[in-house]
Structure 1
Amino acid sequence: MHVNGTAAQPAPAPRDGSAAPAPGDPVQDTSGRHARRFGLPVATALVMGNIIGGGIFLLPASVAPYGTVSLVAFGVLTAGAIALALVFGRLAQRDPRTGGPYVYAREAFGDFAGFLAAWAYWITTWVSNAALAVAAVGYLDVLIPVGGHRWTACLAALVIQWLPALANFAGTRYVGAVQLVSTVLKFLPLLLVAVGGLFFFDPRNLGPFNASGQSPIGAVSASAALLLFSYLGVESAAVSAGEVKNPRRNVGRATVIGTAGAALVYLLGTLSVFGTVPHDRLVTSAAPFSDAVNAMFGGGWGGWAVAAAALVSMTGCLNGWTLLSAQTPYAAARDGLFPAAFARRRRGVPTVGVGVTVVLASLLTVYNYTSGSAKVFQVLVLVTTFTATVPYLLASAAQLTHLVSGRRELVNPARLVRDLVVASVAAGFSLWLVAGAGYAAVYQGVLFLFAGVVVYAVLAGRRRGAPADGPGGGTQ
């Protein structure tokens, strides 16, 4: 899930309190260029561009220890992601307001479910920031040796996080310019390896089918939990439904087409890396796409150029994700579901959210480096797998609630059965990913999630004690 192009601000909460603004929702400016709605092609590009982010540059090495069974996981994951895409499309048909999982959960289950969706989504964004920074260090090491010592790598990861944060403090116009350049550079190494690597493919490099020692089902589950990180963003069109022309028709189509397109790029890219880099080397690689280009062209400038492009791409992803991480609490704060300080803005940027987000991501980065784990990126990715499934599961549950509640207007029996099957698959898929994340990731994720319960309790108490026209009044 990665912001693209011009990063904009969430819309103000509706006066009737019926729908919360979405985390990361673009501003509904009726006087400027952000008011222009986009059609199916742009909505599809939004989904595809947001899904394809910086994490893919390290994921081939992360799943290599499981063997080529991870390619099977890619197929299963794509099917589950498309099921989620169809659920978001159906929900947008029923409720085309901007919001995505946040609005769907709040409309179906009330403020607490809406808060959990927003809280988990926020955690996903800033934990992803830490993961992206760790991945970027591997490519920085190709250009400047920094990965030889744990503390040097940790310091490099912190610098990579704080530079985009400083860019955010400069204002949204600068953020958008950086994002545009990084988006273009992101696709160059991906397409080079995904397409060019097929001409250098050597089956002897693939290694064993199941190298993990687990059962095939266990290996598929574990590798799919890692790979979900690369699919975050499937909800992009639903989150921005208010900006899409004819959202009842276009949100679902854009989500499915964009998800399938991103899956194709991912699958070809991972297959090409598997087929060009020997398995024993890929398992320990910190820059698999650079290693793939070096293997294709005999080393030299190719790997260095890919590393530079990947580093700029991941820094750009961090640039946009930092703003997205700040927009999430900003949107919830305007609806009374986050502390009011998160609603403060300067130069179009929620500065409190940016500051809190980068501090939390930095602390998590330091913690995971100092814990002695040799696989910091994998640990952080698995935490996001758990937290991301919370809003996904709530959205699937909202669809199931609607389908079985008797409110079946415009739904014929055949479509009802089909939607029930798709929503059940999406819900089961989310639960399966939680199981595949592993105990350590679920442990950290649950701690983050339960901390939100305390925050919600405090905010709910303050809202109930406030006058009807005071801060937070009328948000129930």
Structure 2
Amino acid sequence: MHVTGTVPPPAPAPQATTDGPAHSGDTPDGTGRRTRRFGLPVATALVMGNIIGGGIFLLPASIAPYGTISLVAFGVLTVGAIALALVFGRLAERDPRTGGPYVYAREAFGDFAGFLAAWAYWITTWVSNAALAVAAVGYLDVLIPVNEHRWTACLAALVLQWLPALANIAGTRYVGAVQVVSTVLKLVPLLLVAVGGLFAFDADNLGPFRAGGESATGAISAAAAILLFSYLGVESAAVSAGEVRDPRRTVGRATVIGTAGAAVVYLLGTLAVFGTVAHNRLVDSTAPFSDAVNAMFGGAWGGWAVALAALVSMTGCLNGWTLMSAQTSYAAAKDGLFPAALARKRRGVPTVGVGVTVLLASLLTVWNYASGTARIFETLVLVTTFTATVPYLLATAAQLFHLVSGHRERVDRGRLVRDAVVASVAAAFSLWLVAGAGYQAVYQGVLFLFAGVLIYAVMAARKQRAEARTAEG
């Protein structure tokens, strides 16, 4: 539950306004129409839907070689993720505008830091969308054979990207509906496995506490390196704060509830698989949830059932990440740091931003299939494991900046200490994410950031020239 202080935060500066009235259910979108704003259920579904992707269906097998001590790593990471969620909630109280980490970094450290947060996050979203769509085709192939020819698979991947994009273009009402439905549909089978695992649980299947030869600390760190990115998406409600009803209150609650809910699903689902599939079999499993379903309920239908659940899960992720990409570029474009066209909005959604996102992701997808090799594609995906962490680190730094500088006036000392401890844990978690990305990801990710510096130089110069003309006029 989101923790509030005894005294509300001071009102933000005049420029720190939302994109519409903070408490209305419907707001103008700049075209005379009314647009539906997200309430707590939709905002929570956005967080959970973006965190829980397709990776969960392989996680138990990925961490099984380290033994059940990997569940301890899950617990440690959950603490860090919830601390980060609380930080985003506090920052949204202070500045409830669309843009999330971009807005927080820019307010605290200026245009350049804000641009880096937006640039890194934007790259992460559309590259990840291409990766999600390609991975989803693998699950679709279990239900409908599409991988027999690479161009049939490519077409399927493009369709999986464009359908959520069309839902985004239709407006926030449809985005929210798709996100809620897909989140419910993905949770039902995962919770079914978790609950079913309680009745089919056999402690003999767990295997050793430490299966490898590492020390306890080494095993936890190794398992954590695999699990670190399972919580990406915790910022989802904050990025869309301008479209959330009563964002100062709702964003924090949705972020914490969504992150905690995802953690429960992760932990229970993984524990259920550990307890129903023998450890020596799980280590080599390519479909651990399918094996668990077959063990719990008999038969051999687990493969298509899990494939269907994974396909729904990834479609929901594509829907949410498309919105996140468009909202980030929209926020930066409004401040003159991204091209102005990306600031166009319709029915509460930056439609140009959605179009650019799906176009870039589609081009990357076609490139992947045309090249006949996944090497370039895998390199770009690896880059996103680092670029995703940049906005987190800048956001936690912004929170520490506000706490140390004393900008949160009239807050009691107890709340100040709590916020400082939470922000410190979130900062450590963000640094851990950077370390977990690996040397190659950091090296290549920094090159992408430096390429963004050149773009920032052009956009900042254009912004300065426009401001000079306005002053002269």
Q: Which residue of 1 aligns with 2:356?
A: 352
CA distance in 1, matches of 2:65, 2:152: 26
Instruction: Output the amino acid matched with 2:363.
Output: V
Seen in structure 2, the aligned counterparts of structure 1 residues 287 and 447 have a Cα distance that, compared at 3 Å, is: farther
For structure 1, list consecutive stretches of 5 or more residues without a partner in the other structure.
1-15
Q: Which residue of 2 aligns with 1:448?
A: 448
CA distance in 1, matches of 2:323, 2:38: 21
| 1:89 has 2:89 as partner | yes
CA distance in 1, matches of 2:138, 2:220: 25
Instruction: Give the paired residue count.
Output: 447
Seen in structure 2, the aligned counterparts of structure 1 residues 432 and 146 have a Cα distance that, compared at 3 Å, is: same
Q: Deviations for 1:26-60, whole angstroms, at most 9, x for unmatched residues?
A: 99536656344625x55444433443333322333
Superposition deviation, residue 295 in structure 1: 2.1
8 Å CA contact 2:49–2:317 kept in 1: the answer is: no
Q: Which residue of 2 aligns with 1:194?
A: 194
Q: Which residue of 1 aligns with 2:159?
A: 163
Q: Identify the range of structure 1 (293-302 vs 102-111) with the bigger mean alpha-carbon deviation.
A: 293-302
Q: Which residue of 2 aligns with 1:29?
A: 28
CA distance in 2, matches of 1:346, 1:86: 31
Q: Deviations for 1:157-214, whole angstroms, at most 9, x for unmatched residues?
A: 6444311333325842676665555333212221111211222223333344344554
Instruction: Output the amino acid matched with 2:444.
Output: Q
Superposition deviation, residue 411 in structure 1: 1.8
Instruction: Output the amino acid matched with 1:298.
Output: G
Q: Which residue of 2 aligns with 1:53?
A: 53
Q: Deviations for 1:83-102, whole angstroms, at most 9, x for unmatched residues?
A: 11221222223333343211
Q: How does 1:245-256 map to 2 (within 5 A)?
A: 245-256=245-256
Q: Secondary structure at the match of 1:34?
A: strand
Q: Secondary structure at the match of 2:273?
A: helix
CA distance in 1, matches of 2:383, 2:219: 18
TM-score by length of 2: 0.80
Instruction: Output the amino acid matched with 1:259.
Output: T
Instruction: Output the amino acid matched with 1:87.
Output: V
CA distance in 1, matches of 2:45, 2:196: 23
Seen in structure 2, the aligned counterparts of structure 1 residues 235 and 27 have a Cα distance that, compared at 3 Å, is: farther
CA distance in 1, matches of 2:442, 2:208: 29
Instruction: Output the amino acid matched with 2:322.
Output: T
CA distance in 2, matches of 1:91, 1:195: 36
Superposition deviation, residue 402 in structure 1: 0.9
Seen in structure 2, the aligned counterparts of structure 1 residues 92 and 448 have a Cα distance that, compared at 3 Å, is: same
Superposition deviation, residue 80 in structure 1: 0.2
Seen in structure 2, the aligned counterparts of structure 1 residues 430 and 197 have a Cα distance that, compared at 3 Å, is: same
Instruction: Output the amino acid matched with 1:165.
Output: Q
| 1:324 has 2:320 as partner | no
Instruction: Output the amino acid matched with 2:159.
Output: L
Q: Which residue of 2 aligns with 1:172?
A: 170
Q: Secondary structure at the match of 2:28?
A: coil
Q: Which residue of 1 aligns with 2:7?
A: none
Q: Identify the range of structure 1 (124-133 vs 399-408) with the bigger mean alpha-carbon deviation.
A: 124-133
Instruction: Output the amino acid matched with 1:357.
Output: A
Q: How does 1:71-150 map to 2 (within 5 A)?
A: 71-143=71-143
Seen in structure 2, the aligned counterparts of structure 1 residues 56 and 250 have a Cα distance that, compared at 3 Å, is: same
8 Å CA contact 1:97–1:242 kept in 2: the answer is: yes
CA distance in 2, matches of 1:335, 1:368: 40
Q: Secondary structure at the match of 2:337?
A: coil
| 1:421 has 2:387 as partner | no
8 Å CA contact 1:139–1:310 kept in 2: the answer is: yes
Q: Secondary structure at the match of 1:97?
A: coil
Q: How does 1:202-351 map to 2 (within 5 A)?
A: 202-211=202-211, 213-343=213-343, 349-350=351-352, 351=355
Seen in structure 2, the aligned counterparts of structure 1 residues 433 and 175 have a Cα distance that, compared at 3 Å, is: closer
CA distance in 1, matches of 2:35, 2:118: 23
8 Å CA contact 1:124–1:388 kept in 2: the answer is: yes
Q: Which residue of 1 aligns with 2:438?
A: 438
Q: Deviations for 1:147-166, whole angstroms, at most 9, x for unmatched residues?
A: 7x9xx6x7676444311333
Seen in structure 2, the aligned counterparts of structure 1 residues 141 and 214 have a Cα distance that, compared at 3 Å, is: farther
**Taking every aligned residue pair, what percent have the same amino acid on both sides?**
73
8 Å CA contact 1:194–1:272 kept in 2: the answer is: yes
CA distance in 2, matches of 1:226, 1:381: 15
Seen in structure 2, the aligned counterparts of structure 1 residues 81 and 314 have a Cα distance that, compared at 3 Å, is: same
TM-score by length of 1: 0.80
8 Å CA contact 2:98–2:327 kept in 1: the answer is: no
Q: Deviations for 1:374-398, whole angstroms, at most 9, x for unmatched residues?
A: xx6xx87764442222111111111
CA distance in 2, matches of 1:381, 1:93: 33
Q: Deviations for 1:331-354, whole angstroms, at most 9, x for unmatched residues?
A: 323332123454567996322332
Q: Secondary structure at the match of 2:336?
A: coil
8 Å CA contact 2:93–2:248 kept in 1: the answer is: yes
Q: Which residue of 2 aligns with 1:38?
A: 39
Q: Secondary structure at the match of 1:449?
A: helix
Q: Deviations for 1:106-144, whole angstroms, at most 9, x for unmatched residues?
A: 100011111111112112212322442354244334335
CA distance in 1, matches of 2:411, 2:227: 34
For structure 2, list consecutive stretches of 5 or more residues without a partner in the other structure.
1-13
CA distance in 1, matches of 2:299, 2:185: 20
8 Å CA contact 2:67–2:207 kept in 1: the answer is: yes
8 Å CA contact 1:130–1:362 kept in 2: the answer is: no
8 Å CA contact 1:212–1:219 kept in 2: the answer is: yes
Instruction: Output the amino acid matched with 1:172.
Output: A
Superposition deviation, residue 403 in structure 1: 1.1
